[in-house]
Amino acid sequence: MKKIFITLTLMTFSQFSFADNPYKVLDKSFKDTPGSVNEIMESSPIKAQDGIGFCYGFTSTSLLETFRCRELGLDCSKPEEALSTFDVTSYLKPKVQGLDEGGRASLVLENYKKTKSPIAREQCIPFSTLVKQEGSANVREKKGMNYLTAKWNEYKGSNNKKPNDCITCLVNDIRKNLSNLGTSNEELAAAFANATLLEEFLYMAVLPKECLEESKTAKIPDFEVNSFPKKITDATPEAIQKKIESLLLSNTPVEIGICADSGYTPNCAGGEGHSIALYGIKESCSSSECKTVVKVKNSYGESWQKKNNNGWVDLAELVKSSLSVGDFKNVTWINKPGAEIPDVEMKRSK
């Protein structure tokens, strides 16, 4: 068990390829049990990470959006209520705000809670900023991210290159190729001059300071961060599934870390780790068995949702894949401080 625990501690959830595993869509012989469907309607629209490894940031953003809309009586479907995934993702580490490919939603939420800072709105800093490079026909690539990374490496002289000490030249290149960046030339120059890490540079280069002004940010009501399991003895498929069922039946959305590798091996490769959000639960039965089905909100975008039964997949398979990446903080959720989530059990037909 110790070996599995260490694996999870080092695990990062950055998977961004389209994978069929572990999403098991039930065949047509299964029918929904009448009255069993419980879908959380306060979810914000589906977003797409488009090749950038911020899946953990997308699920964190989704949980924060739902919590904020509930507490403040807002409509999460409205674009103006969307939070900036860039800004939320930047709270992965406690001391440096940066954009890291690979991380954990629980860490983002725990670190952000300590700051109580407003979050920039998506409308001010669209995620598409780092997706499409000017002149590219294929928007499902992180060309903008790759371009900024290349310019940072050129400035720092990585890969045995001679450093380019002309910041103005680098800024002009970026402006020419990424004209949709909201940051000014002065802000881009400051990012080169002041950042010490690539992750920090990306955050500074993408997020205009004006997006952090009070009129363009959203305040998040105080919340608690909870994760399960917290001890190895509770790291069983039965316990994790029961916890997820109870949370979803209590209208609490859940983040779960899974392994998108088809083998679900105990040492799931870091690049195969993925973070998803669950926003619904129901029972579906065939003539011989019943299964618990949950609705996945995946940062693979609308095309993935349509391909996978609008996200409704077998919960047991997700739990199985989650245990393959470790036995600690498999699922994470947020709620009002001091609020207790009641233990609710699924009503089984068979």
Per-residue tokens: 40:
């959380």
pLDDT tens digit sequence for 78-133: 999 999 999 999 999 998 999 999 999 999 999 999 998 999 999 999 998 777 54
Where is 334: in which H helix or E strand?
Answer: strand 331-335
Strands (E) across 184-223 are located at 217-218
313 contacts 214 by C-beta, under 8 angstroms: no
Q: Report the alpha-carbon distance of residue 172 to residue 154 in Å, rounded.
A: 14
Contact criterion met (CB below 8 Å) for 4 and 326:
yes
In the DSSP assignment, the letter for residue 289 is -
| Amino acid symbol at 192 | F
Provide the pLDDT for residue 159. Answer: 73
CATH fold for the domain made of 2-45+223-335: Cathepsin B; Chain A (3.90.70)
Collapse the DSSP code of 242 into the 3-class scheme (helix H, G, I; strand E, B; otherwise coil) and give the result. Answer: helix
Whether the CB-CB separation of 85 and 61 falls below 8 Å is answered with yes
CATH 3.90.70 in the chain, residue ranges? 2-45+223-335
- What is the token pair recorded at 213? 């002004």
pLDDT of residue 296: 97
Phi-psi region of 107 (alpha: psi -120 to 50; beta: other; left: phi over 0): alpha
pLDDT the model gives residue 13: 52
Token reading at 133: 């490079």
Q: Which residue has the tokens 């926003």?
A: 279
Taking every pair of Cα atoms in the chain, the longest distance, rounded to a whole number of angstroms, is: 70
What stretch of H or E contains 304?
helix 302-307
What is the C-alpha to C-alpha distance for residues 56 and 107, in angstroms, rounded to an integer? 9
Q: What pLDDT, in 10s, does the model give residues 162-179? A: 888 899 999 999 999 888
Below-70 pLDDT ranges, the chain: 1-20, 132-141, 261-267, 269-271, 350
Structure token digits, residue 282: 């129901």
Residue 211's nearest CA partner among 172, 186, 184 is 184
Structure tokens, 138: 């294929």
